Amino acid sequence: MKSLLFLVLISVCWAEPHPDNSSLEHERIIHIQENGPRLLVVAEQAKIFSHRGGNVTLPCKFYHEHTSTAGSGTHKIRVKWTKLTSDYLKEVDVFVAMGHHRKSYGNYQGRVFLRGSSENDASLVITNIILEDYGRYKCEVIEGLEDDTAVVALNLEGVVFPYSPRLGRYNLNFHEAQRACLDQDSVIASFDQLYDAWRSGLDWCNAGWLSDGSVQYPITKPREPCGGKNTVPGVRNYGFWDKDKSRYDVFCFTSNFNGRFYYLIHPTKLTYEEAVQACLKDGAQIAKVGQIFAAWKLLGYDRCDAGWLADGSVRYPISRPRKRCSPNEAAVRFVGFPDKKHKLYGVYCFRAYN
């Protein structure tokens, strides 16, 4: 005797007036659902703001359509959080939960957990935020054959700055650009971060790498050397280039820090090596480029004294423009990359808090 297997699908239909023209009495939208109410995943906020070192909750809740229940009770609920790469081609695993099982991945280990304020709460808590946490996250809820997703963007308060090494402009391939930003207490900026910086007034004529592998630059004051005098302001796009062979500058992004940035009061000016040792003797380290930009932009740090930084450059931050100190604009002024052994300057130090 052969056994027969029948698959029964129960469908629910209903009609409602067309939303665009209720006068059309016979026009209806027909909704069809199979196997009961459909699983819905909702993010109450599409964008969340935080800062480095802070804690944040990425909202995500799930329901069954036209019911108030969180799950059917037939299948276990599986919650998966991933991070979308800047080019949207990949997803990086962040956290997975099913029943009593929990697992976090990569540098999220020990920093993420589900809030679980209710039986339908799949919100993810991220603690001790780092610069690399910036980006878009996907919340996926799976119950049996049903699944749905929601996307939440995590934005960080911070500052974008252009960077080129001692070798001069257009000397970094994409991978070297990434390392250059990391060396200066920052990460390579995204397009959204550069765009926000342009809207806040960033104007820079040298093209630089962004995190998605594109090369762009922001112009607020069109002029001949920068795309033409008669062009409109905007973020100019060079497109996508070979990450190994093409060479440009880079736009870096940094946020607030847990420490003290300061100009070291010293009886004499210093060579680069003397500056490094002077900071160490003061219980600190010579400051990085990202730290001077963060102190200037986020703390309003203002000092008219040029000082050494860790990459061998000499700069000074002006938040209150005045005569002899960047009279035309607030900015971190760049003196250059002087001879480390013979040129004498002050030094900026950074002391991290425990």
Supply the pLDDT for residue 73.
56
Contact 160, 252 (CB under 8 A): yes
Per-chain mean pLDDT for the chain:
88
> How far apart are the C-alpha atoms of 344 and 272, rounded to whole Å?
8
Counting residues of the chain whose pLDDT is more than 70, the rounded percentage is 87
In the block, which residue shows the tokens 């070192």? Answer: 53
Supply the pLDDT for residue 28.
38
> Does the pLDDT of residue 143 top 70, yes or no?
yes
Domain 256-352 sits in CATH at 3.10.100.10
| Beta carbons within 10 angstroms of residue 21's beta carbon | 8
Supply the pLDDT for residue 199.
96
Supply the pLDDT for residue 210.
97
Split at pLDDT 50, 70, 90, the class of 233 is very high
- Residue ranges, comma separated, of all CATH 2.60.40.10 domains in the chain are 39-64+76-156
Supply the pLDDT for residue 88.
72
Contact 84, 97 (CB under 8 A): no
158-254 architecture in CATH?
Roll (3.10)
> Does the pLDDT of residue 328 top 70, yes or no?
yes
pTM of the predicted structure, to 2 decimals: 0.83
Domain 39-64+76-156 sits in CATH at 2.60.40.10
Q: Please, which residues bridge with residue 58 across strands?
A: 124
> Does the pLDDT of residue 71 top 90, yes or no?
no
Question: With 0-12 CB in 10 A as exposed, 13-18 as middle and 19+ as buried, what is 340?
Answer: middle
Condensed to tens digits (0 to 9), the pLDDT of residues 18-34 reads 444 433 333 333 333 44
Q: What is the DSSP letter of 136?
A: E
Supply the pLDDT for residue 76.
85
- Residue ranges, comma separated, of all CATH 3.10.100.10 domains in the chain are 158-254, 256-352
